[in-house]
Amino acid sequence: MKKLINTPGTLLTDALTGFAAAHPALDVDVRRRIVTRAPTPGRVSLVSGGGSGHEPLHAGFVGPGMLHAACPGEVFTSPVPGQIHAATTAVSGGAGVLHVVKNYTGDVLNFALAAELADDDGIEIATVIVDDDVAVEDSTHTAGRRGTGATVLVEKIAGAAAENGEKLAVVAEIATEVNARSRSYGVALRAGTVPAVGTPGFTLAEDEMEWGIGIHGEPGRRRGPIAPARDIAAGALDAIAADMPLEGEVLVLVNGMGGTPLMELYVMFAEVTAWLEARGVRVARSLVGDYVTSLDMTGCSITVMRLTGTLRDLWDAPVETPALRWGR
Amino acid sequence: MMDAARTRAWLTAAARLINANSGHLTALDTAIGDGDHGLNLRRGFEAVTAEATGDTPGAVLKAAGNALIDATGGASGPLYGTFFRRAAKALGDAPEVDDAVFAQALAAGLAGVQTLGGAAEGDKTMVDALAPAVTAFAAGGDAAAAAANGRDATESMTARKGRASYLGERSIGHIDPGAASAALLFQALCSVTTD
Q: Please state the domain count of chain A.
A: 2
- Assess whether A54 carries a catalytic annotation: yes
Q: Are A81 and B70 in contact (CB under 8 A)?
A: yes
pLDDT value of position A276: 98
Q: Tell me how far apart the alpha carbons of residues A217 and B36 are, in angstroms, rounded to a whole number.
A: 12
Tell me the residue type at A4: L
CATH code at position A228: 3.30.1180.20
Same domain, A19 and A156: yes
Distance CA A193, CA A196 (A): 9
Q: How far is B105 from chain A (nearest CA, A)?
A: 21
The reply to whether A72 and A90 lie within a common domain is: yes
C-alpha–C-alpha distance, residues A305 and A29, integer Å: 34
A33: helix, strand or coil: coil
Average pLDDT for residues A61-87, to the nearest whole number? 96
> Each residue of A215-237: pLDDT tens digit?
887 777 789 999 999 999 999 99
Can you list the alpha helix ranges (DSSP code H) found in chain A? 11-22, 81-91, 105-120, 150-163, 168-180, 229-243, 262-278, 309-316
Do A15 and A150 belong together in one domain?
yes
Ramachandran angles phi, psi of B103, nearest 5°? -65, -40
Residues A194 and A259 in one domain: yes
Assess whether A121 and A231 both reside in one domain. no
Residues in chain A within 8 Å Cβ distance of B39: 196
* Burial (CB count <10 Å: 0-12, 13-18, 19+), residue B195: exposed
Label residue A264 by pLDDT band (50, 70, 90).
very high
Question: Strand, coil or helix: what is A101?
Answer: strand
Percentage with pLDDT > 70 across chain A: 99
Residue A243: domain span: 183-307
**Considering the domain boundaries, does residue A123 fall inside one?**
yes
- pLDDT for position A220: 78
Task: Tell me the pLDDT of chain A averaged across its residues.
Answer: 95
Comparing CA positions, the residue from B72, B150, B60 lying closest to residue B105 is B60
> Does residue B33 sit at the A interface (CB-CB below 8 Å)?
yes
Q: A interface toward B at CB cutoff 8 Å?
A: 73-74, 76-82, 104-106, 109-110, 112-113, 136-138, 141-143, 146, 194, 196-197, 201, 214, 216-219
Which residues in chain B touch residue A81, judged by CB atoms under 8 angstroms apart? 69-70, 78
Pairwise CA distance, residues B104 & B100, whole Å? 6
B74 touches chain A (CB under 8 A): yes
Contacts of A32 (CB under 8 A, 6+ apart): A83, A86
Query: Is residue A54 over pLDDT 70?
Result: yes
Contact criterion met (CB < 8 Å) for B73 and A77: yes
Contact B30 A77 (CB under 8 A): no
A204 and A159 in one domain? no
Same domain, A95 and A144: yes
Helices then strands (H, E): number in chain B? 9, 2
A and B: number of Cβ contacts within 8 A:
88
pLDDT category, A140, cuts 50, 70, 90? low
CB atoms within 10 A of CB A114: 30
A95-126 tens-digit pLDDT:
999 999 999 989 999 999 999 899 989 999 99
- Compute the distance between CA of residue B83 and CA of residue B125 in angstroms, rounded to an integer: 14
Report the side by side order of strands in the sheet with A249-256.
Answer: A222-225, A208-211, A182-190, A298-306, A249-256, A282-289
CA separation for the pair B22, B26 (Å, rounded): 6
**Neighboring chain A residues of B74 at a CB cutoff of 8 Å:** 77-78, 106
Distance in angstroms (rounded) separating the CA atoms of residues A239 and A261: 24
Alpha helices per DSSP H over B21-56 = 22-32, 37-51
Cβ A211 vs Cβ A222: under 8 Å: yes
Q: What is the pLDDT of residue A141?
A: 67
Residue B65's domain comprises 2-193
Q: Using an 8 Å Cβ cutoff, are A143 and B162 in contact? A: yes
| CB pair distance less than 8 Å for A73 and B73 | yes
Residue A116: other Cβ atoms inside 10 A: 11
Same domain, A147 and A204: no
Of B144, B151, B147, the residue nearest B176 (C-alpha): B151
Same domain, A247 and A296: yes
**Residue stretches of chain B with pLDDT short of 70:** 195
DSSP state of A298: E
**Residues A50 and A143 grouped into a single domain:** yes
pLDDT on residue B171: 87
Looking up residue B66, the CATH number of its domain turns out to be 1.25.40.340
Which residues have CB under 8 Å from A124's CB, separation 6+?
A: A95, A96, A97, A118, A168
- Are the C-beta atoms of residues B134 and B112 closer than 8 Å to each other? no
Asked if A143 lies within 8 A of B168 by C-beta distance, the reply is no
Q: Name the nearest CA neighbour of A217 among A297, A133, A134, A104.
A: A297
Partners of A197 on chain B (C-beta within 8 Å) are 30, 35
Closest CB from B36, B160, B170 relative to A77: B36
Residues of B in contact with A137 (CB under 8 A): 168
Residue A325 forms part of a structural domain:
no
Which of A137, A163, A181 represents a domain boundary (last residue)? A181
Q: What is the dihedral of CA A195, A137, B162, A191, to 10 degrees?
A: -10
**What's the Cα-to-Cα distance from B3 to each of A69, A204, B10, B91, rounded to whole Å?**
43, 54, 11, 11
Same domain, A164 and A224: no
- Residue B158 distance to chain A (closest CA, Å): 10
| ipTM value for the complex | 0.82
Closest CA to A217 of B75, B35, B39, B40: B35
Comparing alpha-carbon positions, the chain B residue that sits nearest to A140 is B160
Confirm whether A326 is domain-assigned: no
**Roughly what angle, to the nearest 10 degrees, separates helices A168-180 and A309-316?**
110
CATH of the domain at A93: 3.40.50.10440
Contacting B residues, span 122-141, partner chain A, CB-CB under 8 Å: none
Of B34, B162, B168, Cβ closest to residue A217: B34
> How many distinct structural domains can be found in chain B?
1
